[in-house]
A and B are shown apart, each in its own frame.
Chain A
Amino acid sequence: MKRTFLGEFEEVVLLTVAVLGEEAYGVTVTQEIEQRTGRGVGFSTVHTTLQRLEEKGFLSSEMGGATAERGGRRKRFFTVTALGRKALQEVKQIREELWAAMPPQTLQLMGG
C-alpha cells in the first residue's frame, strides 16, 4: 500500500492543527507545541512543516479576515483535510497495533 511518509515532527504539527481546530495558524500552532512538549520550537520549523503538509495535501489553508486584535494583520488558517485525518488514523493504528503486539513482560518493565 502506497502511503505518504509522515515524519515525527510533521505528525506533531498535524495533530496540533487538529487539536486547535478552527484557531490553527502559525502563531497558535507554535505556541501550542511549545506548551505541550515543553520544548522551544522555531517558528520557521513550524512554518515550513505547515507548508510541506499543505503541499502533501494533509492540510488546507485559507486566509482569514483581519482582526482588530492583530492590528489588522492577516492570518492564514490551516485545517486538516480528509487525507490528513486518514494519515493520522493510520499512524495511530500502527502505534496501537505495535503496543498491542508488545510482549506482556516488556510492558511491565516499562512500568505500564
Chain B
Amino acid sequence: MTRDGSRGTASSAEPERLLEVTDLQLRLNSPRGPVYAVDGLTLTLDRGVTLGLVGESGSGKSMTCKAIMGLISDRRGTITGSVRYDGTDLTRLPLERRKELWGTELAMVNQDAGTALNPVLSVGCQLTEGLRWHLKLSKREARDRAIELLTHVGIPEPKRRLGQYPHELSGGMRQRVNIAIALSCGPSLLLADEPTTALDVTVQAQILDLLADLQDEHRMTMILVSHDLGVVAGRTDFTAVMYGGRIVEIAPTKDLFAAPRMPYTRALLASMPRLTAPSHTRLRATPGAPPDLTKRVPGCRFAPRCAFARDRCRSEEPPLVDETGSGHLFSCWYPDSGTPEETGATLATSGQTLKEDA
C-alpha cells in the first residue's frame, strides 16, 4: 500500500515501510473464556501515511492499537502473529526493550483526556517525565522543551500551565496536553484512539486539524481510530473498516467512500450522519449486536446481520482480497449486493430496535 497523493505534502519517491502487521491475534482472558478481540489482522503502513480505522464499538479498534504497541500484559491476554516495526518484530521483544520504544517510537493518544492524565500530578510533571527519562534531558532543558511543546499544540500561557493540574484545564486543553505528551519524544508512529470522541464539535475539528498539521510537520505515521466515518473521511489516506476483530475492507479513503464493496461498509456509510447532524453522532443504524468474540463460528462474521447473506456466507469465511488490483481490499463473497440506498432502506425497515453501542 503506498501513499495516496491526495494529501498535499511532498512524498518521497521511495516509500519507506514503517509498520507491517501480519496475522495479528489478540486473545484476552476473561471469566467466560478467551475473547478474540483481534483475530487475524494484517496491515502494512508506509512512513507518513494516515490510516483511519473505523468500526462499531467492540469491533477491536482500540485493542488493535494496544496489541500493536504490545500494551497487553501476559496475565490479560496473548498476542500472536507479528508486528514488524521498522524491521523489528515487537511481539518478540522483551517488555523492557519494548518500553524503550514506547513514547520514543510509538506513542498513543487516548479517547478520554480526562482520565488519561494523572489527576494529582501537575501538567509540567507529566509532560517532562518522558523527556527526562527517554531523552535524558536536564530539569531545565525538559522544562524549556515542555513550554515549546505546549506552545506548539496551541496552548496559551504555557508557562502557567506547567504548574496546573489536569482538572484546571478544559477538555480540549487536556487533549492538547495529551497530544503534547505523546509527541514529546518524537515518535514515528502515532496511534490516536478516538482522540476527539469526548470533545464537543468545534474543539473536535481543532484537535483533528492539529493532529494533521503535526503529522505533516514531523512526517509521522498515524493510525486514527474512530467510529465516526466523518472524522476519517477528510483526514486519512487509507481507511480500514473493522468488524469482529478483523479488517473487512480497506482501501484508499476516496475509493472506499466512493465505492464501498462490503455490505457492512455500505451500511456504515448509509448510516453516516447528515451534514446537519452533529459530527460526533455515534453509528447507530446497523441492527443487531456486534458478534460475540468468545465464539468462533464458520463463515462471514457479518452474515448474521447481513441483509444479503446466502448459504456460502454462513459456511465459508471470505478472504480479504484485492479483486481488481486497485488496492481496494475487501472480504465478501457477494460484493455490491444492492445499492447503498437499498442497503440503508433494508436496514431501516428491518424492524429491529436500533441499538446504540456505547
Partners in one complex: no
Footprint of B on A, CB under 8 Å? none
B interface residue numbers (CB < 8 A to A): none
